[in-house]
A and B are shown apart, each in its own frame.
Chain A
Amino acid sequence: MQKQEKAMRKTAKNKIDNDVLKTLDLLEDLTQEKVRHGFYQRLNYQIEHLEEEQEIAKVSVFTRVIRLAATPALAAACIALGIFIGLGTADIKTDDYVDTLVKTYGIGLPETPQLFNTESQ
């Protein structure tokens, strides 16, 4: 019985040694992997795609700069337009007010724009 156990242990040890050796031997004989066919074409496609993306990125940066510069100018233009329209409306309102006074109270300015008679002097 003991002999049998001893023999079994020896067999197991030999098997382990054999497995270890064979596994370590593979270290010297590792397979070289090769790329799939068409690697360059796929790479080239990716590079072109990246270049396109970079172009888009460049354009967007340019656009952003333009937008940034345009914003204060646009704001100033809006303010100016607002003032212009505002003043125009004020003029119209003043004219309306004068018309109302004339109609209601008969108050009016003389037809001639000359207020002082310079001839008699």
Chain B
Amino acid sequence: MSFDEPKIIKQLQSGDKRAFRELVEATQDHVYNTCFSFVKNKEDAEDIAQQVFIEVLRNVHKFRGDAKLSTWMYRIAVNRSLNHLKSVKRHHKVQSLDEMVENKRMKDIPSTEDNLQDPEDEHTQRLEVLQKTIESLPENQKIAITLNNFENLSYQEVADVIGISLSAVTALINRAKVNLRKKIIEHYKKIEKDPQGF
């Protein structure tokens, strides 16, 4: 996110609408991308991104500048996205665990036969496998790896957004990568063993 933060904060606090537009235009893709990387749905991601900007507009007068504005915005985006995911999960709670597992097998995981048809499909399906595996990570690991890889935030920036130390973020991302590798290996082994089952 590149903009003159102190200047824009002052302008926003004095109710300058042009400054708000400037902020939105400079950061909309980052905010949207962050939301999308969690919710994986374009409409929902846009709704959440809008909520993020509305929250910024409403609370900017309280912003004391202890953290960077972008860090604050990422934090709001992550929190809103996770809350959205939780509410979606609550709505689908009626679905039994068995049904979920079965649906996951049927719908989410692509078959190897199809995988090898078209290189573009292969890429899309690998991406899908990666995203599904990221989703299955513990929450903190998911946030850290998402911000680091989808938004290209540095470890320090990720630490600022989550509110933990740099060393903790380093450990978190390393653990996340180890877990990802394990889960992806398991996934492809399952497919190899039972290609019809998926």
Q: A residues bordering B, Cβ < 8 Å?
A: 12, 15-16, 19-20, 22-24, 26-28, 30-36, 39-40, 42-44, 46-47, 50
CB–CB B149/A39 < 8 A: no
Give the contacting residue for A46; candidates B32, B54, B149, B150; CB below 8 A: B54
* Interface pairs A-B: 6 shortest CB-CB: A35-B32, A33-B36, A16-B188, A23-B126, A33-B33, A19-B188
Task: Of the listed stretches B20-28, B79-87, B99-107, B164-172, name the one at the interface; the rest are far from the partner chain.
Answer: B20-28
Give the A-binding residues of B (Cβ under 8 A). 21, 24-25, 28-29, 32-33, 36-37, 42, 45-46, 49-50, 53-54, 57, 123, 126-127, 129-130, 145, 149-150, 177, 180-181, 184-185, 188-189, 192
Q: Is the interface of B mostly helix, strand, loop or mixed?
A: helix
A35 to B24, CA, bound (A): 11
Whether A40 lies near B21 (C-beta < 8 A) is yes
B110 to chain A, nearest CB (A): 11
Using A19-B126, A23-B126, A40-B24 as known contacts, say yes or no to A32 and B184 having CB atoms under 8 A apart: no
Q: How far is the CA of A23 from the CA of B149 in the complex (A)?
A: 14
